[in-house]
Amino acid sequence: MAARVLITTDYLHPGDTVDQLLREHGLEPVYSPSRGPRTTEERRSMFDGISGAILASEPVTADMLTGAASLQVIARSGVGYDSIDIQAAAAQGIRVCNAPGTNHHSVAELTIGLIIMAARRLVEVSTAVRQGHWPREAGHELRGSTLGIIGYGPSGRATASLGAALGMTVKVSTAHPDPNNKAVHFTDLDTVIRDADYLSLHTRGGQSTSKLIDAPRLQAMKPTAVLINTARGSLVDEEALAKALYDGTIAGAALDVLESEPLPVNSPLRGLDNVLITSHLAGQTAEARTRAGLAAAHAVIDVLENREPAHPVDR
């Protein structure tokens, strides 16, 4: 009997390249697309009879893995894996992998797109035009402004390159600076936050309950600054951000990721005119999806065929 591979990533479908690859290796794909929170029973039985899993960003908790007797590998069709209980998986000998280097250009392009939208107030202008108005408000050029970046992994590096190409001064806070890159100013976190006209997050979500961007750090930003988050929703204190946006502590925010997705109906961010929210789209280009899906499939195949996967995050 063929080993079964659960696929919850909603853009992967029967008959596509991932499906074909898995079947070529004698595996049986099983589809259960992630479309929001699952019921308790669905979560409890999610991995029944499953040997490998290619997952979207939905949570995988210790209690979900308790009955996963046949599960050998979980592969994220993306970069982030903080939604998976790595320790619980390791305790049961379940490998966990991700797909780095597959979507950083997509993330960087959306980041710059969000910055341009904020700088030129494109959402407000487009909405007003559809309502019959003809606004002629002055926006801001990016050239000469300061792009602050926290984190210098693949998406941070790609965003820095695009920012520099647009004539922005790029300041980066990272534990891994690149002294050979003369287009980037590597400095400390407080300086990046203080100097940024556009502050973009490209770092991992931590295990700490404290937020990277909290009320004191929002207070330290320029009142004209815009916060951009295409990394992890867990990095930002959304209550503090909503207050900062309402009070004018900062000028605006553009968020592609949230602490809870979809955006809850009672979120304090709802109803604010100076926040732009997109639906976790940063890595969702056709090209990035193809790369990420295939990378996750290869990770599953490698583990099930007793080879070391290319991108384990559990060791």
CATH 3.40.50.720 residue spans of the chain:
3-102+285-304, 104-277
User: Active-site residue 105, yes or no?
Assistant: no
Q: If residue 236 lies in a helix (H) or strand (E), which one and from where to where?
A: none
d(CA 215, CA 219): 6
pLDDT of residue 257: 95
Quote the pTM value. Answer: 0.87
Q: Kindly tell me the burial class for residue 198, based on how many C-beta atoms sit within 10 Å of its own C-beta (0-12, 13-18, 19 or more).
A: buried
Q: Which of 232, 289, 298, 311 is catalytic?
A: 232
pLDDT of residue 194: 98
**CATH of segment(s) 3-102+285-304:** 3.40.50.720
Per-residue pLDDT tens digits for 173-199: 999 999 999 999 999 999 999 999 999
| Helix 104-120 vs helix 154-165: crossing angle, to nearest 10 | 50
pLDDT of 205 > 80? The answer is no
User: Active-site residue 232, yes or no?
Assistant: yes
User: Active-site residue 202, yes or no?
Assistant: no
Q: Which of 109, 124, 239, 261 is catalytic?
A: 261
pLDDT of 168 > 60? The answer is yes
Q: Which residue has the higher pLDDT, 210 or 28?
A: 28
Q: Which of 280, 289, 298, 311 is catalytic?
A: 280
Q: Could you name the CATH architecture of 104-277?
A: 3-Layer(aba) Sandwich (3.40)
pLDDT of 315 > 80? The answer is no
